[in-house]
Chain A
Amino acid sequence: MADKPYTNPLDGLYEIVGDLWNMQKLEEAAAQQQPVKPGHAASLPTAPKKAEAPAPLPSFDQIWQTADESIDWTDILSGRNTMGLDPLSPRWKFLRQHAQNVLSGSLTDYADVLREVRPLDDMKKYAHHIRVRALSSDEIAVTYEAFEEDAADNATAYEHYLCGIALRCARDIFAVLPVTHVQVTASAAGKQQLQVRFKRSDMQKTLFNFIDPVDFVRDLGAEITPGE
């Protein structure tokens, strides 16, 4: 029997999560629109475009200091409800249902979890086109379109912004998936601004209240290239 043709579930994950982001934008836009008269095609919202005058950076101070509540998959697998969820709640049932496969590194289940938990939704006001892609069951790649450098008061503030968001994205992914690495890439106006690879064990003992995100990211050997 011939082997099945290889399909990369990672691509699926990329699409699924990417679409979800756009899907939500569509829903939000649709909700704001007037009802469309029969016979008139509804105009779909377009992807965010660069404004004539750059919008200022949203306040992102200390965003890296917090992260989503982590999901202890090993606890869930053994039935320990350390997250304090109602044992009858759909969330608890969902997590129980996926624990075994998530801990087996199933990318399909990773995608299900991302769809359910939506860990990066709260980052939307800080960046556009946030996409999540699994490079393997060990590593997740996050890409986002950052505000352009003009939006920041100065280069230092912009670096702070890029790194802070990257750090937060990585923390949110580590919180929900049992991966060992998260790679974050930020672009603006078609140019790569930042690429960094976070390691779970490095993050485990870090006191995020006391770090400078730029120093932290630089120490990981990141490429920060705003303005190039």
Chain B
Amino acid sequence: MEPLISKWHRELELFSSLKPLLILEGNVLDQYRYPVAGSIPEDELVPLSRYLHGYFSDHGYDQIVFYSNLIGFMNPYNPDMLRDFAALTGQSVENGVIPAEFKGNDAKTAPNVIRRSMLNSRKATVQILELASHYITTPERMDQQDVNSFNLLLQSALSASTVRTIYGKKQNLLILVVNKLNDLPAWFYLNNPICKTITLEAPDRDERKRLISGSAFPTFFDSSVYRTDYPYYAEHPEDLEKLQEKFVGLTEGMTFTELDALRNLSRREMTPIRDLCTIVDLYKYGIRSNPWESLSMKSLKHAKQDLEKRVKGQDVALERSLDVVRRAVTGMNGLSSSSTAKPKGVLFYAGPTGVGKTETAKALAEKLFGDESACIRFDMSEFGESHSDQKLMGAPPGYVGYEAGGQLTNAVKKQPFSILLFDEIEKAHPTILDKFLQILEDGRMTDGQGNTVYFSECIIIFTSNLGMYVKDALGNRHANVTMDMTYPEVQSQIRSAVEDFFKLELGRPEILNRIGENIVVFDYIRQEAGEAILDAQIKKIIRRMDEQKQIRIVIPDEAFKELHDAALADLSNGGRGIGNQVESLLINPLSRWLFEMEVMSDRTVTIDHFLTKANPPAVVCHLDEKGSD
């Protein structure tokens, strides 16, 4: 197998011979894969310090020492080097370290020791300052002694000597390892020609592929599992390739340390090779059986009929929603992108109010996860302020509410397999929409406490009333769609308004791109759907009264027609409007009548008329003789 060398390793190779001062920043607490066999075996995962020690040993440096402001100078990998370093700089080793403060003017302080070693021309020396982010509180609050210490480091680098070795000339090197570049004073690195900053990234796709393929592949399995399972994959390399590709997709964004943890987990759990990817779920969510995998094709075949029982008159919207679910279940959701860590699906529900957008989301949650509570709803009108993202993702350390975490991240941590419903998304502050960009693209988010939350098992649904109204030049609102329009006209008008909102009003076309073709426009509740909704609601009331109070309600056809005509007279408020009418015309008058007649249970009530024009509306009923029913 050809060596796979990371970008940062190449930069280290290049600039360690050109510049005496290197700053390594970024993912520095991770482990790294050593790319070429040397003092460390090829492809072995090692901490950064061991990596650097191995690299510079292999490249002929005589002395490699690490410094930490809490411990001093040390070399846990080769104590002889530390002894040589002590002799060179006139220090003494105590209990395996050379103690040295970072601050101060004493000759024994670390910057002074470093300066002496950088000036030496006998031993090629590399000094690695670990966790250098924490030597000072903040760059803005440095006292004069802090400034002096960094100044001395800078001078050391400026006056670094070149040493002749059997490998050729080597420049003494000073390396600072920091979490973020701006943990250091800007004057130390900005416009500094002797300094090179090298950024360490999380492993990319190739790195992850490398770890799960080739000679490293067996290390993911218990020996007995590998022995029994591997012969099949040796004969079917195409299946192995598919499995490895899936694993690579699922582990996007993970660090080497996390990948190594996956490896250990897989071995401990004696995971069969075919179930390799379940270990990612176990690591991310603490469960092995993924609800998505257990969804049966049979239950999904009848999903539309099941959803139609709850959501009436939205044939196209339900079909489009189920398309996304089918894609997720068949594993085709990630096919058009390089990442399989993205959410299972994204839907943008638009359309008139009360037509079943939220109800569809809840019905989907029940269908997919067996429980309506798997639909987690966020009312985005509560997130209209610029700082609202902290409510959603968690406040950073030191801020009020840090301990509580974020509402969204907490919810997803608790229920990773869920439908996330963001109601009225247009009311959220644009900074929150930026956060959604990351969720939609990478399927993960780091909360204020630094925990990574994964959204790759969620379906994300946004709802919006965008496009229902438009503003004219004077700022007055006008209806953009009306009930007179056909569904294709409504769909076209609303889609175009949603696109205009993101592209022109918000200036964020990239958010629209992440949603893609998944804008689902709900139709108005038309006459036929309205009748179905009314019918379902009346039946539900009759059934509940019978079950709970043993009061049997009879509505003859003539009376029902009175209710029907009044309740369906105006369908512009959708199903919710019909519900309001039923409450106003049936529930309130009937309960008033039952109260006045002191009918508490076990009777049959026939409603003869609905007085819909009365104020308040009333009902004319009679009680059947007890025992006659």
Residues in A lying within 8 Å of B, measured CB to CB: 71-75, 77-81, 102-105, 137-138, 178-180, 200-201, 204-205
The reply to whether the CB of B138 lies closer than 8 angstroms to some CB of chain A is: no
Alpha-carbon gap, A73 to B268, bound state (A): 14
Residue among B42, B216, B220, B222 facing the most chain A CB atoms (10 A cut-off): B222
- Which residue of chain B lies nearest to A71 when distances are taken between CB atoms in the complex? B223
Return A171 CB to nearest CB of chain B, in Å: 14
Taking A105-B227, A204-B268 as known contacts, 15 extra A-B pairs with beta carbons closer than 8 A to each other, sorted by chain A number, are: A71-B223, A72-B223, A74-B220, A74-B226, A75-B219, A77-B218, A78-B43, A78-B217, A79-B41, A103-B227, A138-B228, A200-B224, A201-B270, A204-B270, A205-B268
Indicate if the CB atoms of A78 and B215 lie closer than 8 Å.
yes
Alpha-carbon gap, A105 to B230, bound state (A): 11
Alpha-carbon gap, A105 to B44, bound state (A): 26
The reply to whether the CB of B102 lies closer than 8 angstroms to some CB of chain A is: no
Cβ-defined partner of A80 (8 Å) among B41, B223, B227, B228: B41
The reply to whether the CB of B32 lies closer than 8 angstroms to some CB of chain A is: no
Indicate if the CB atoms of B270 and A78 lie closer than 8 Å.
no
- Which residue of chain B lies nearest to A181 when distances are taken between CB atoms in the complex? B224
Indicate if the CB atoms of B41 and A73 lie closer than 8 Å.
no
Cβ-defined partner of B230 (8 Å) among A72, A103, A200: A103
Task: Provide the main secondary structure of the chain B interface.
Answer: helix
The reply to whether the CB of B135 lies closer than 8 angstroms to some CB of chain A is: no
Q: Mark B281-292, 1 if CB is under 8 A from A, else 0.
A: 000000000000
Cβ-defined partner of B221 (8 Å) among A74, A180, A200: A74
22 contacts between A and B (CB under 8 A): A73-B223, A73-B226, A74-B220, A74-B223, A74-B226, A77-B215, A78-B43, A78-B215, A78-B219, A79-B41, A102-B223, A103-B218, A103-B223, A103-B226, A104-B231, A138-B228, A178-B227, A179-B224, A180-B224, A180-B228, A200-B222, A205-B268
Alpha-carbon gap, A47 to B480, bound state (A): 101
Residues of chain A lying within 8 A (CB to CB) of residue B226? 73-74, 103, 178
Indicate if the CB atoms of B218 and A137 lie closer than 8 Å.
no
Indicate if the CB atoms of A74 and B41 lie closer than 8 Å.
no
Alpha-carbon gap, A210 to B245, bound state (A): 41
Q: Mark B214-254, 1 if CB is under 8 A from A, else 0.
A: 01111111111011101100000000000000000000000
Return A206 CB to nearest CB of chain B, in Å: 12
Cβ-defined partner of B218 (8 Å) among A78, A180, A205: A78
In the complex, the 10 A-B pairs of residues with the closest C-beta atoms, listed nearest first: A178-B223, A74-B218, A73-B223, A178-B224, A78-B215, A178-B227, A103-B227, A74-B226, A77-B218, A78-B219
Alpha-carbon gap, A80 to B219, bound state (A): 8
Residues of chain B lying within 8 A (CB to CB) of residue A138? 224, 228
Residues of chain A lying within 8 A (CB to CB) of residue B223? 71-74, 102-103, 178
Indicate if the CB atoms of B270 and A200 lie closer than 8 Å.
yes
Cβ-defined partner of A74 (8 Å) among B222, B228, B231: B222
Alpha-carbon gap, A190 to B221, bound state (A): 41
Residues of chain A lying within 8 A (CB to CB) of residue B270? 200-201, 204
Alpha-carbon gap, A105 to B43, bound state (A): 26
Alpha-carbon gap, A144 to B475, bound state (A): 94
Return A203 CB to nearest CB of chain B, in Å: 10
Return B444 CB to nearest CB of chain A, in Å: 29
Alpha-carbon gap, A72 to B270, bound state (A): 13
Evaluate whether A78 and B216 lie within 8 angstroms (CB atoms) in the complex, with A178-B223, A200-B224 already known: yes
